Amino acid sequence: MPAHSEQLAYIAASLRKKLKLFFIMIITGMLISYSFIDDLIIMIKEDLLPTGAVLIQLSPVELIILKFKISLVAGIVPVIPVLLYTVYTALKERLDVHTRVATSKMVLTFVSAVTLFILGMAYSYYFMLPLFLRFLYATSSNIATATYSIQEFISFIVTMTLLISISFELPLLIIFAVRSGIVTLESVKTYRRHAYVVIFVMAALFTPPDVFSQIIVGSPVIVFYEAGVALAGLGYKNKSQ
């Protein structure tokens, strides 16, 4: 098997070939989304800003920078499936994996990925974030007036929603990687404890410093990890045997 450095170099070379496509997709997404960002910010404020809290603008360019960041995210998200597919094809070529994935399965994978992403957004926006924000506001409202920077508040909402949505893709990634022959089911099972540690470390990095918040973020990711392992194991045969 090629060395890891050689594999990474091969993947990087494959990605460089599509840089122009990635750039065009990002710019197009930014231009399309920019006109809707004001409505998005107003919606987030009305839905998630705790009653009694106030959003403030700390600098003249703060809102402009915020809108640029959101439009950049909106441009990058559609690129992710293309980027992952490019990495997948590069890995198959480099590792000499000959398992063929039918077109119907590729379509089903794409539809499932979109569905899981939307479910992740819904979980984050309608359940997790309201709990977080109410908890944070309740712990300080009796001591100080809650005034949030509009850039920090909206960026927090967008970042958390994006991270949770991507984490909901984990079972699909496991199933696809195992079924396509890139990894074995045994290796996914062997390193599950390592995965748990990484999941809760990431949850600690992106949530308030309390165990409750980390459980709210980490628990569904672990459930999806185990779901991916279970589904990937259906009809699985170890090709090394």
Mean residue pLDDT of the chain comes to 82
Q: To the nearest whole percent, how much of the chain has pLDDT over 70?
A: 85
Of 174, 173, 136, the closest CA to residue 153 belongs to: 136
- Quote the pTM value: 0.75
> Cα angle vertex 218, ends 217, 221, to 5°?
100
- What would the pLDDT profile of 101-115 be if each residue is shown by its tens digit? 566 777 887 888 889
Only one residue has tokens 């070529």, namely 93
Domain ranges of the chain: 4-162, 169-241
Report pLDDT digits (tens) over 217-234: 788 888 888 888 888 887
Alpha carbon distance 73, 158 (integer Å): 9
Burial status of residue 161 (CB atoms within 10 A of its CB: 0-12, 13-18, 19 or more):
buried
Q: What is the pLDDT of residues 42-69, one digit of tens each?
A: 999 999 999 889 999 999 999 999 999 9
Share of the chain above pLDDT 90, in %: 27
For the record, the structure tokens of 1 come out as 């098997």
Secondary structure class of 91 (helix, strand, coil): helix
Q: Which residue has the higher pLDDT, 201 or 105?
A: 201
The dihedrals phi and psi of 56, each to the nearest 5 degrees, come to -130, 155
The pair of structure tokens assigned to 234 is 């259906």
